Amino acid sequence: MASLKDCQYYKAYLEIIGVPHGAPDYATLPNGRVIVEMHEVKCRRIINGVRYGVVVGSRGALCNHLKKQHDLDRAPGLDLHRPSHADVMAAKAFYKGLMDRHDQILKQENAAMAQRAQEIVAKAGQGVRFAAISTLLATPRLGWYVLCSYPD
Ligand SMILES: [Zn+2]
């Protein structure tokens, strides 16, 4: 039986901290209900441009969160116990799209950070900051925070 368990994109979705970068807000149906994806556990709601990124333990808990915090009702129709092949394929496509976009955004951010670090190195030359900047170049994700504490 098809399931999300062997889907690399769903695994990546669970493994990353928080909500994927660039995750779209919930689509609302004409009846005002929102589509909550199969086994979705991270709130994608964006309010006035701000995402709060709540992560819960199950889709049921996410639906409760959406109702309590955002007054949103989920659209019915997804059978989680015996999902149809089409539903599983649609969910896989959803998580692939979500994680492809996340990866793309991180890649762009890292490229921008590396570029910024190169500029700082070029300006600073030698000095106390050099060690921190070297760290930045070696580990862009960690280095972002290092860079923040070493403004030029
Ligand atoms: Zn929320």
- Distance from residue 80's CA to the centre of ligand 1 (Å): 21
- Distance from residue 131's CA to the centre of ligand 1 (Å): 40
Residue 124 confidence (pLDDT): 65
- Distance from residue 120's CA to the centre of ligand 1 (Å): 38
- Distance from residue 63's CA to the centre of ligand 1 (Å): 10
Q: Is residue 30 part of a domain?
A: yes
Q: Is residue 82 part of a domain?
A: yes
Residue 138 confidence (pLDDT): 59
Q: Which structural domain, as residue segments, surrounds residue 89?
A: 8-148
- Distance from residue 73's CA to the centre of ligand 1 (Å): 12
Q: Is residue 96 part of a domain?
A: yes
What is the per-residue pLDDT across 66-80, written as a single tens digit (0 to 9) for each? Answer: 999 999 999 987 777
Q: Is residue 57 part of a domain?
A: yes
Q: Is residue 2 part of a domain?
A: no
pTM of the model: 0.76
Total of domains in the chain: 1
CA separation, residue 1 to residues 29, 37, 86, 89 (Å): 29, 19, 12, 12
Alpha helices in the chain (DSSP H): 8-15, 59-70, 85-124, 129-138, 140-148
Q: Is residue 1 part of a domain?
A: no
Q: Is residue 13 part of a domain?
A: yes
